[in-house]
Amino acid sequence: MSDKAKTLLAAGHNTNYHEAGEGKPLFLLHGSGPGVSGWANWAKTVPAFADQWRVIVPDIAGFGFTEFKDGTKYDIKLWVSHLVGIMDALDIEKACFVGNSFGGALAIGLAVFAPERVDRLVLLGTPAGEFEQTAGLRGAWEYEPSLDNMRHLMALFPYDQKLITEEMVQARFEASARPGAQEALRKLIPKPASDGPTIVKGFPASALAKITAPTLVVHGREDRVVPPECGFLIANSIPNADLHLFGRCGHWVQSEQSRRFVALVRDFLSE
């Protein structure tokens, strides 16, 4: 798969996406944060699935290289509408979804609001319920574009710091430094409280309980961005869900435990 992106129109947004492979459609949904994009999150993972699935990696509205519109209210309803628009533009009626962090929350939103479009769900490090804003999420809002700041922020994500390369830091910094990128991101994530904890709210257990799609929940035990308790809440609430907790693993499950992650997900999607 090359890094050459395609463009389509969905929910009124010029949308950046990558595509590879043939077969049943499989969406890989990115997380949030400075310099994030679908390609940055999933480029190394796509070949592990493109032999058997039609893999689509979009940049969700307001993120990555997809259009951000001033004056537009970005919330879960718009993001779900955007994802449905992407599916419609690609003539995909139903698909499997692998969602990383924010992307997992978006996949949950789709399963709640448009369950007929969802075949199976894989949720990585996904927020749910209510929890205190972590250092990783606070850092994403407070980030000011620079190589040092990006290096410091990225250190909060994996368990093994050796995973962070200078090439990775450079690429994420360059994306985060695009004019308006950080200002746009701050409109999409909760502003940290000036005093006391900031409460982050994800889908509650009552909404999760309505999801009928078979679901695989994966979380890193040492996740310092989205607490593992969120993974337990999701797995305990979705009726047809399994949970896999990776030890010695932070927020980047697909990178930190790539071989085991791919084997687990391939098995689940092939059932």
Catalytic residue among 32, 219, 251, 255: 251
Distance CA 99, CA 106 (A): 7
Catalytic residue among 82, 223, 237, 255: 223
Would residue 81 show up in a list of annotated catalytic residues for this protein? no
Would residue 75 show up in a list of annotated catalytic residues for this protein? no
Catalytic residue among 81, 101, 176, 237: 101
Distance CA 96, CA 88 (A): 15
The first and second tokens of residue 178, run together, are: 């695009």
- The candidate with the shortest Cα–Cα distance to 122, out of 55, 171, 186, is 55
Q: What number of residues does the chain have?
A: 271
| Biggest distance spanned by C-alpha atoms of the chain | 51
- The candidate with the shortest Cα–Cα distance to 64, out of 28, 107, 97, 98, is 28
Distance CA 21, CA 138 (A): 37
C-alpha distances (whole Å) from 186 to each of 62, 77, 97, 191 are 11, 18, 26, 7
Write b or e for each residue in 15-49: b if 16 or more Cβ atoms lie within 10 A of its Cβ, otherwise e: bbbbbbbeebbbbbbbbbbbbbbbbbbbeebbebb
Distance CA 187, CA 183 (A): 7
C-alpha distances (whole Å) from 17 to each of 57, 95, 134, 211 are 5, 16, 29, 27
Would residue 251 show up in a list of annotated catalytic residues for this protein? yes
| Enzyme catalytic residues | 101, 223, 251
